[in-house]
Structure 1
């Protein structure tokens, strides 16, 4: 199926091409390696950002270990294939008994870390059969998942392969324990540690600073078409405000759509040249990798995905800067969104009229703005520490040698 889709879809083509000759590449990379290997697997870029704090702490505390990072999706691999924190970065070969056996023979990991949602039966089984410690990091479980259904015996066999689960919330602990798995710790979500690290290491983006200076700024991150349609009227009629729009998809058609929706817009790639002479109040970001820093410039952060797509994107990247966070109505799968709404650090809006009203209220009522911003930042800081909990487990169980 993937090979058929690759004929028509760029992402699918990268998915297929990236796995062509994968075992030959692995054999060449690992030829002669005599050092112990930690293998971390992530589905995509978001899961990598969750696993990254743990990976970097392991690198610092256990310098004798070498690190293999694998991805399932091109959206993770293509962006992080040159990540300096790992010794090797590869696509994960497709899950099958033969592939899993061959992969483990080549890599010979001492420790295996899967992040959040990734469950590949034959790879998990191979780790268990070879008595390799296998941990799930930042796992999150819901009662409607197959693991907890009467027909879910196959999925429960995957859970049985794990040495330990580090999960994000108490519901996940309860579900696993009710299913008979007591090897679980409530560690929290490592994303909190990661966004705090990003904020602490912030480096300025001069071109964005130049665009925003002296104005109230609304940064809209990971927007889908539906998000931009909810926001465009406000942007088009408030030319005194600066808007920084970072679309989820930066393909040519999507960028063209954004330029048509926002009447007074300039592309970032044109703005940085320094020769733009128009009067734009909207900056369209047509590259990947800056979003977590863009929120620093915001007066208000709007996080996309709540009107389209699978739900809102990472709101913690915005909240860490002590900025109010606004998003659409589709957020119920994300516990941090639910909790931040309850604590008053975020606001969900059902439509464009409520969005505009909320933005005006935040911009015009200083006390309301300050309270919302403070609660957003405090929420992130009070939930940090998952990485240390996981590293403490490694130390107590002596899973690794330095």
Structure 2
């Protein structure tokens, strides 16, 4: 391990350490053998995919409160969320994908099934489950047409890995079409995206936030979520030109000093006044409210009239699902093709308003902001929330699958 330190970055090194140590945290001081004796549900979520697993965990625990749930991850980034999930009985690192490691894991935990969120199917583990008769399901699965997993040698590995599964639940018919290229014999169905369930659950059970900062309805509010410097170089100059008719909630993706200091300097250079969420007791005259705390963005979208989602001028847009579920039309930059919802709703209008709009530069950003300030149609938010509600309840299909196989 010491020899790897100069080569591996922080997350990669921690991942190796966790796997080598067979890291697992068991809640309530239960011995692992007690959990294993009850044949737990096993859910695997690589990293951020835990957001797709959360509503499934909740539904399973509601229906089967006496059956333990264990969760494995690939990236240590998932740890922060897993520590907070009260319905998870034990969680830890997925073992190395070698036959001995996989068999040892299955013998230790004796899971009654394996539920994999989104994409992270490891071939040897999938095969080990297949050989031991452990049912396995890949849910909320999505496969882009340009995915490297469906090309060349990777396609062969993907075909073998997915062929070991019992069933696959895809997000859309397009995903099924992409999988058809592999010629799988495994049953494949369209059952939607479980993260919609999580987003709506979050809206129905909001975190406590500083509502004393909530702006009045005197001016429309733009909520800019998960922004990077590349986004801010376009967003801030455009906003500066409409600031007298609009206010902005600005939630940077990174709130470390290396990002915040240049951000504040840029705001001052553009003549934009601001206050910080962590320190302010009210938000009155300032143009911008900077969110310098993490974990409250979903609630803050409910303060807005329209949104911009960051990452879309950098490399990959962050999820547009939360602002859409809050009823907001969304602006994105050119790098949004990684996000299915951004692509799906970019082609859709409600009451004459595009749900997702792409802009490519400062001028286009200003034009779109001006349109939203001046011509936001009445009833749009209600129509959008009603539209998105049709995508709910995917988690129930996963629970029904468990019932069918158990």
* TM-score when normalising by structure 2: 0.86
After superposition, where does 1:45-56 map in structure 2 within 5 Å? 45=48, 47-56=49-58
Following TM superposition, by how much is the alpha carbon of 1:161 offset from its aligned partner in structure 2, in angstroms?
Answer: 1.0
> Matched residues in 1 for 2:238 and 2:231: separation?
12
Partner of 1:190: 194
Partner of 1:305: 311
Conservation of the 8 A alpha-carbon contact between 1:331 and 1:338: yes
Mean Cα deviation higher: 168-177 or 134-143:
168-177
Conservation of the 8 A alpha-carbon contact between 1:5 and 1:12: no
Following TM superposition, by how much is the alpha carbon of 1:380 offset from its aligned partner in structure 2, in angstroms?
Answer: 1.2
Partner of 1:162: 165
What stretches of structure 1 move > 4 A for 4+ residues in a row?
Answer: 1-10, 16-20, 23-29, 276-279
Following TM superposition, by how much is the alpha carbon of 1:355 offset from its aligned partner in structure 2, in angstroms?
Answer: 1.0
**3-state secondary structure, aligned to 1:93:** coil
Following TM superposition, by how much is the alpha carbon of 1:196 offset from its aligned partner in structure 2, in angstroms?
Answer: 1.6
Following TM superposition, by how much is the alpha carbon of 1:305 offset from its aligned partner in structure 2, in angstroms?
Answer: 1.4
Cα distance, 1:203–1:124 mapped onto 2, change above 3 Å = same
Conservation of the 8 A alpha-carbon contact between 1:240 and 1:281: no
Deviations 1:325-354 (A, max 9, x none): 111112223332122111121211111211
Partner of 2:236: 232
Cα distance, 1:359–1:155 mapped onto 2, change above 3 Å = same
Deviations 1:118-148 (A, max 9, x none): 0212221221121101100100123444554
Partner of 1:349: 359
**3-state secondary structure, aligned to 1:246:** strand
> Matched residues in 2 for 1:17 and 1:251: separation?
26
Cα distance, 1:297–1:204 mapped onto 2, change above 3 Å = farther
> Matched residues in 1 for 2:4 and 2:290: separation?
33
Cα distance, 1:175–1:240 mapped onto 2, change above 3 Å = closer
Conservation of the 8 A alpha-carbon contact between 1:3 and 1:16: no
> Matched residues in 2 for 1:328 and 1:2: separation?
42
After superposition, where does 1:361-400 map in structure 2 within 5 Å? 361-367=371-377, 370=378, 372-395=380-403, 397=404, 399-400=405-406
> Matched residues in 1 for 2:309 and 2:184: separation?
38
Conservation of the 8 A alpha-carbon contact between 1:3 and 1:13: no
Partner of 2:275: 266
Q: Decide which of 213, 217, 236 is 2:221's aligned counterpart.
A: 217
Mean Cα deviation higher: 145-154 or 122-131:
145-154
Deviations 1:229-277 (A, max 9, x none): 1111234451563322222223331222322222223332222xx4x89
Q: CA RMSD in A?
A: 2.8
Q: Decide which of 287, 296, 302 is 1:290's aligned counterpart.
A: 296
> Matched residues in 2 for 1:348 and 1:19: separation?
41
Cα distance, 1:331–1:269 mapped onto 2, change above 3 Å = same
Question: Any stretches of 5+ residues in structure 2 without a counterpart?
Answer: 350-354
Following TM superposition, by how much is the alpha carbon of 1:315 offset from its aligned partner in structure 2, in angstroms?
Answer: 0.9
Following TM superposition, by how much is the alpha carbon of 1:59 offset from its aligned partner in structure 2, in angstroms?
Answer: 0.8
> Matched residues in 2 for 1:260 and 1:108: separation?
56
**3-state secondary structure, aligned to 1:262:** helix
Following TM superposition, by how much is the alpha carbon of 1:372 offset from its aligned partner in structure 2, in angstroms?
Answer: 4.9
Cα distance, 1:81–1:58 mapped onto 2, change above 3 Å = same
Conservation of the 8 A alpha-carbon contact between 1:112 and 1:135: yes
> Matched residues in 1 for 2:9 and 2:151: separation?
35
> Matched residues in 2 for 1:257 and 1:278: separation?
24
Conservation of the 8 A alpha-carbon contact between 1:224 and 1:249: yes
Following TM superposition, by how much is the alpha carbon of 1:25 offset from its aligned partner in structure 2, in angstroms?
Answer: 5.8
After superposition, where does 1:1-400 map in structure 2 within 5 Å? 4=4, 9-12=9-12, 14-16=14-16, 18-19=18-19, 21-23=21-23, 29-33=31-35, 34-45=37-48, 47-145=49-147, 148-149=150-151, 151=153, 152-178=155-181, 179-203=183-207, 205-207=209-211, 209-214=212-217, 215-237=219-241, 238=243, 241-263=246-268, 264-271=273-280, 274=281, 280-309=286-315, 311-344=316-349, 345-367=355-377, 370=378, 372-395=380-403, 397=404, 399-400=405-406
Following TM superposition, by how much is the alpha carbon of 1:297 offset from its aligned partner in structure 2, in angstroms?
Answer: 0.6
Question: Any stretches of 5+ residues in structure 1 without a counterpart?
Answer: none
Cα distance, 1:146–1:329 mapped onto 2, change above 3 Å = closer
Aligned length: 390
